């Protein structure tokens, strides 16, 4: 009877604890995050955004009910994230979940916002079927709204949500001017970068003339000029910097013609203007053992074979500083970069943002591209050569200004029309982060590069691969065996104690 009462009391106590924990969890939400990219921890950028929200933000999430387990996790993660957003905003974010599949009118309504279902193959009752799946959201703030047509897992989820909210709550976007008139790449040729920049800025094309008030721009950008920039025009940049303006320059000092297999120098006058300020970009090609590939066609009998060949003139940069403009970046592929250095005085702060690998070097121009060349270690006698840098100081007068210089003008250019290409995400992030930093740091730098974007298995040694493979397989088995041995030993000791005369039940 006593044991029965004890069991009832024990069950009641457990039930009470569960009820209390559920009540607390509805008010206080937390979770432990052991992921390498902290994908389940809100960034400081997100927290700052949500603390600045003054009026309610409404999130309507459109998720299909009865999702497959792998996709159901996206819904769970998104809901958990919305709870954290609401907590940080002190209740200024409210949300609801709707299954469009249950209402044809809802499907037609959200289709007008560009939300379309994803077709997923799944099994039901041992049969392969296709199901329409919605993973979308509409964020509303006052009379404004933003649409996330497809919610992706991981850190992309937080980035999409935070940038959408940030875009809604900004009233007057700062201006960023892209300099034109010297063959520069226009915003239309940088679609991926513009998609990120236009969340927070108004982007305009601007010319260097006395009819333009440069002071209204938070920062100016000059990307890959091809024609000469006159001293008269450069004087406008000096005046802009003297008034605490900020400048982003992506400059080609060398370029290559694949058809002629030749590399040559590029001179626009900007390199001399930078040199006067202590910023040197050599008229040489940077070569790196860590590099991209080019396609080479070879004729073998009646057949034409295409193969990929490493091309050290396309350095793949993986070494970055902890500066806000480059922190979190993992891989940027450059196209014909040049070594950089600084010989200015101590009134300036020069911080390299990106470096070449431990095996790198340089080649003088003009040169011939030998695609079939067998490169060896002697071709890469140098290491950690800067290819991008952030500089602060009195460039023109006594007022401090900021400048970011990259020794490759083409790394963030998509191209236009049929020549357009998709870029590596970090190529875009380097440029956008740099402009963010120049424009008083919007807070989204940290969030944009928060996710792990590049973890290639081919860079892991074979021995480490084998170790990790067997560790993943054997560790759970080993833990089960150890637990079994422990239980066996525990039960054995307990049995011996019971056999003793002094044992009291």
How is the chain split into domains, by residue range?
1-29, 31-169, 175-459, 462-505
**What percentage of the chain's residues is helix, strand, coil (to nearest 5)?**
35, 25, 40
Q: State which CATH number among 3.30.390.30, 3.40.50.880, 1.10.3080.10, 3.90.1170.10 fits the domain covering 175-459.
A: 3.40.50.880
In this structure, the number of other CB atoms found within 10 A of the CB of residue 40 comes to: 17
**CA 345 remoteness from chain centre:** 34
Global pTM reads: 0.75
Provide the pairing of β-strand 401-406 with 386-393: antiparallel
Q: What is the DSSP string of 408-440?
A: -SSTT---SGGG--PPPHHHHHHHHHHHHHHTT
Rounded Cα gap, residues 424 and 429, in angstroms:
9
- Residue 266 · residue 219 · CB < 8 Å: no
Q: What confidence score (pLDDT) does residue 170 get?
A: 84
Q: What is the pLDDT along the chain (505 residues), one digit of tens a residue?
A: 555 666 677 677 777 776 766 655 555 555 555 555 556 677 888 888 888 888 999 999 999 888 777 788 889 989 999 999 999 998 899 999 999 988 889 999 999 999 998 888 777 666 777 888 899 999 999 999 999 999 877 667 888 898 889 888 888 889 999 999 999 999 999 999 998 898 889 999 999 998 889 999 999 999 999 999 999 999 999 999 999 899 999 999 999 998 888 999 999 999 999 999 999 999 999 999 999 998 877 666 666 677 788 999 999 999 999 998 998 899 999 999 999 999 988 899 999 999 999 999 999 999 999 988 899 999 999 999 999 999 999 987 778 899 999 999 999 999 987 778 899 999 999 999 999 999 876 666 766 666 555 555 555 566 666 777 677 777 777 888 887 888 778 787 777 776 766 655 5
Q: Which residues contact 472 (CB under 8 A, 6 or more apart)?
A: none
Q: What confidence score (pLDDT) does residue 450 get?
A: 65
Q: What confidence score (pLDDT) does residue 200 get?
A: 86
Q: What is the DSSP string of 368-410?
A: E--TT----GGG--B---EEEEEEEE-SSSSS-EEEEEES-SS
Q: Which residues contact 401 (CB under 8 A, 6 or more apart)?
A: 241, 242, 244, 245, 246, 247, 392, 393, 394, 395
- Residue 270 · residue 409 · CB < 8 Å: no
Are the folds of 31-169 and 175-459 the same?
A: no
For tokens 């069950």, name the residue.
11
Q: Which two tokens stand for residue 418?
A: 């049929």
Give counts: helices (H), strands (E), the chain: 11, 24
Q: What confidence score (pLDDT) does residue 457 get?
A: 52
What CATH number labels 31-169?
3.40.30.10
Evaluated on CA atoms 363, 368, 371, 373, the torsion sign reads: negative
- Residue 286 · residue 387 · CB < 8 Å: yes
Q: Which helix (H) or strand (E) holds 328?
A: none
Q: Which two tokens stand for residue 51?
A: 């603390």
For tokens 């721009």, name the residue.
217
Reply yes or no: is the peptide bond before residue 217 cis, omega within 30 of 0: no
- Residue 280 · residue 343 · CB < 8 Å: yes
Strand order across the 332-333 sheet: 291-300, 303-317, 332-333
Reply yes or no: is the peptide bond before residue 480 cis, omega within 30 of 0: no
């Amino acid at each position: 009877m006593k044991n029965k009462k004890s069991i009832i009391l024990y069950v009641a106590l457990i039930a009470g604890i569960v009820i209390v924990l559920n009540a607390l969890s509805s008010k206080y939400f937390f979770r432990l995050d052991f992921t390498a990219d902290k994908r389940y921890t809100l960034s400081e950028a997100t927290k700052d955004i949500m603390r600045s929200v003054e009026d309610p933000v409404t999130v309507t999430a459109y998720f299909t009910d009865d999702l497959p387990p792998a996709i159901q996790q996206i819904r769970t993660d998104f809901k958990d994230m919305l709870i954290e957003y609401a907590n940080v905003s002190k209740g200024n974010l409210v949300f609801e979940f709707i299954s469009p599949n249950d209402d044809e009118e809802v499907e037609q309504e959200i289709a007008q916002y560009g939300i379309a279902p994803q077709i997923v193959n799944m099994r039901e009752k041992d049969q392969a079927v296709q199901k329409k799946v919605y993973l979308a959201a509409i964020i509303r703030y006052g009379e404004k709204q933003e649409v996330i047509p497809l919610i992706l897992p991981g850190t992309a989820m937080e980035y999409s949500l935070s940038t959408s909210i940030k875009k809604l709550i900004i009233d007057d976007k700062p201006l960023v001017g892209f300099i034109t008139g010297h063959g520069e790449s226009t915003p239309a040729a940088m679609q991926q970068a513009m998609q990120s920049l236009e969340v927070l800025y108004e982007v305009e094309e601007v010319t260097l003339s006395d009819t333009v008030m440069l002071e209204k721009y938070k920062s100016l950008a000059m990307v890959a000029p091809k024609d000469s920039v006159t001293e008269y025009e450069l004087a406008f940049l000096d005046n802009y910097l003297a008034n605490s303006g900020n400048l982003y320059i992506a400059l080609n000092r060398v370029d290559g013609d694949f058809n002629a297999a030749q590399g040559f120098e590029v001179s626009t006058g900007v390199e001399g203007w930078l040199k006067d300020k202590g910023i040197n970009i050599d008229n040489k090609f940077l070569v790196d053992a860590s590099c991209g590939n080019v396609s080479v066609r070879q004729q073998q009998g009646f057949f034409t074979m295409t193969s990929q060949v490493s091309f050290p003139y396309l350095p793949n940069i993986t070494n970055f500083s902890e500066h806000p403009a480059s922190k979190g970046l993992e891989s940027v592929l450059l196209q014909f970069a040049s070594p950089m250095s600084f010989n200015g005085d101590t009134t300036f702060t020069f911080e390299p943002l990106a470096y070449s690998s431990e095996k790198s070097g340089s080649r003088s121009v003009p040169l011939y591209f030998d695609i079939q060349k067998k490169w060896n270690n002697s071709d890469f006698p140098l290491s950690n050569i800067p290819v991008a840098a952030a500089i602060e100081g009195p460039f023109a007068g006594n007022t401090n200004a900021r400048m970011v210089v990259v020794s490759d003008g083409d790394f963030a250019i998509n191209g236009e029309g049929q020549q357009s290409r998709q870029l590596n995400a970090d190529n875009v992030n380097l440029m956008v982060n740099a402009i963010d930093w120049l424009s008083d740091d919007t807070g989204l730098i940290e969030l944009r590069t928060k996710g792990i974007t590049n973890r290639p298995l081919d860079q892991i040694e074979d021995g480490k691969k084998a170790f990790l493979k067997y560790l993943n397989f054997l560790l759970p088995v080993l833990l089960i065996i150890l637990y079994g041995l422990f239980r066996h030993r525990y039960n054995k000791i307990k049995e011996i104690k019971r056999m003793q005369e002094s044992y009291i039940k």
